[in-house]
Amino acid sequence: MSILVNADTRLLVQGITGREGEFHSTAMLEYGTNIVAGVTPGKGGQTALDGRVPVFDTVADAVEQAGANASCIFVPAAFAPDAMLEASEAGIPLVICITENVPALDMLRVYHVLRARGTRLIGPNCPGLTSVDEAKVGIIPGNIHRRGPVGLVSRSGTLTYEVVQAMTDAGMGQTTCVGIGGDPIIGTSFIDVLDMFNQDPETEAIVMIGEIGGEEEEKAAAFCAREVGKPMAAFIAGRTAPPGRRMGHAGAIISSGGGGTAESKRTALEEAGIRVADSPSHIPQLLRDAGVG
């Protein structure tokens, strides 16, 4: 079983005719993702990806005519908030926004509107997600995956790739891998995804990849201590970052009051009974120590 996307997902891509949209949509299609439509205003009636995908002017048209039930957004940051709102208004229940540099003030508005409408948002500034051998939505490389019992959720795209590759090399496969994004305001939290994995009967163990900044990992640790009975392993990036230094993601900044450090997150996770790796490559061994694989 998988979470969020599967073989029945009917994906539309907003921005499919742009350079990034076309490149990654081709990779998604080759992986086996069912891309049923693209959306680029002014290009309705055309096709994309060598004639394999019809293009519509609006998301509403794509929903009505192609039956799309999920959207992946590859549009510039200035247009991404409206793209997310348009997908939600058209009744799309799942929106994955890959776009980075979306202004935080715009995301405040988008976040509350989408939640009020019941739209699940992954991102922005995220790598997307893969339900292995079923659907790949976003920019995560398809060839690093192997089907298996481990669910993964991460704030970091590149660390997602590294940990997935390490698990695959160790013969340890995945159910679904989700990159939630590293911005301060994102649509889906660690707790949201951890709860989905906890309820998924085929996910036997969970990996969480966090980083410095904010309190989301500490909140997730408290949730896991209360609710999650499955074996878990984790890694926290940014152990050497000094206070006040931003490390790549807009959300990865340690406050001057000492919150959000790698040490505070590691302590919270370990107190919740979660094994914490010293390096991403150590994750498979921690899972084996927990009886997985």
Q: How many Å apart are CA 84 and CA 107, to the nearest integer?
A: 10
Catalytic: which of 24, 145, 249, 282? 249
- The span from the CA of 263 to the CA of 240, in Å, is 10
Task: Return the structure tokens found at 91.
Answer: 């009744």
Q: Distance between CA atoms of 103 and 126, rounded to whole angstroms? A: 15
Is-catalytic flag, 249? yes
- Rounded distance between C-alpha atoms, residue 248 and residue 97, angstroms: 18
H/E/C letters for each residue in 235-273?
EEECCCCCCCCECCCCCCECCCCCCCCHHHHHHHHHHCC
- The residues assigned a catalytic role are 249
